[in-house]
Each structure stands twice: as structure tokens, then as C-alpha cells.
């Protein structure tokens, strides 16, 4: 059931993006006054979740199971925080540098590939 739902969501997202193409990252950042750099603090739970908060964005909290998903959740959280409509775009930061852990990059229309240099 989960796989079927996941496939339907991917197809729905692709159709949505055909109807409403992503604006450029520069356009989103400028239009909605989103800082180009935002500091995050990370913690991990006993069951393996990564929690991200930001002193730059009061009240911002998100979590994920892995660094790739964390970057996606952070992007979604930032877009929500700055009231960016879904039809405008999905990405404001295509990389996330985690000190001592490496860099995570999104794949997609504005990004080339996914890289995680974890230790």
C-alpha cells in the first residue's frame, strides 16, 4: 500500500511541476527575502532521527531519518516559514554543510547530483 501511495504522489508531483514550473532559487530568495545562509543546530535521537533547529528562524524545527531527507525537510520548512506558495518552488538551498559530517546536495531540476561525504 505504501509503495502504491508513494508512486501516486511522485506522479502527482510531476504533473504539478509541469503545470507550475519551479521559479529559480535566486527569484525565490529575492522575492521572499530569504537569507542566503541560515545557521542550523542538529541533534540526533536514540532511534536515529536527525532534528534540526535554527537560531536564525525562531520556532523552526524539523526532523528526518537521513541527511538527504533532512535537506528536503529543511527546504520545505524554510519555504513554509517564509510563506512561499507551493506553486513557486521546492528548493531554496541546494546544499547543506554539516560541520564534521560533510555536504549534502539535492538532485533535481536545479541540482546536479546527491553527495554525502559522511564519516
Number of domains the chain contains: 1
Alpha helical stretches, state H, the chain? 2-19, 25-31, 67-81
Residue with cell 560533510: 102
Q: Would 119 be classed as within a structural domain?
A: no
Give me the pLDDT at residue 77, please: 96
Residue 116 falls within a domain, yes or no? no
Alpha-helical regions (H) of 56-107? 67-81
Local structure of 77: helix, strand or coil: helix
In a domain, 114, yes or no: no
Residue 50 lies inside a defined structural domain of this protein: yes
- Name 72's Cβ contacts closer than 8 Å, sequence gap at least 6: 64, 106
- Which residues are registered as beta bridge partners of 63? 51
pLDDT digits (tens, 9 = 90+) for 37-54: 888 888 889 999 999 999
The residues pairing with 44 across neighbouring beta strands, listed in sequence order, are 50
- Residue 61 pLDDT grade (very low, low, confident, very high; cuts 50, 70, 90): very high
Rounded to the nearest 5 degrees, what angle is found at the Cα of 116, between the Cα atoms of 50 and 94?
85
Query: Which one-letter DSSP state was computed for residue 48?
Result: S
Query: How much is the pLDDT for 100?
Result: 65
pLDDT of residue 1: 67
Q: Where in the sequence is the domain holding 37, given as residue range(s)?
A: 2-105
Its pTM stands at 0.76
Amino acid at each position: 500500500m505504501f509503495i502504491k501511495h508513494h508512486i501516486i504522489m511522485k506522479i502527482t508531483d510531476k504533473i504539478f511541476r509541469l503545470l507550475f514550473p519551479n521559479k529559480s532559487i535566486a527569484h525565490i530568495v529575492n522575492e521572499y527575502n530569504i537569507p542566503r545562509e541560515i545557521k542550523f543546530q542538529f541533534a540526533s535521537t536514540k532511534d536515529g532521527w536527525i532534528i534540526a533547529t535554527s537560531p536564525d528562524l525562531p520556532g523552526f524545527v524539523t526532523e528526518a531519518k537521513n541527511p538527504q531527507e533532512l535537506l528536503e525537510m529543511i527546504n520545505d520548512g524554510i519555504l513554509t516559514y517564509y510563506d512561499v506558495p507551493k506553486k513557486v518552488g521546492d528548493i531554496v538551498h541546494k546544499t547543506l554543510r554539516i560541520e564534521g559530517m560533510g555536504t549534502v546536495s539535492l538532485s533535481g531540476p536545479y541540482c546536479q547530483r546527491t553527495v554525502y561525504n559522511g564519516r
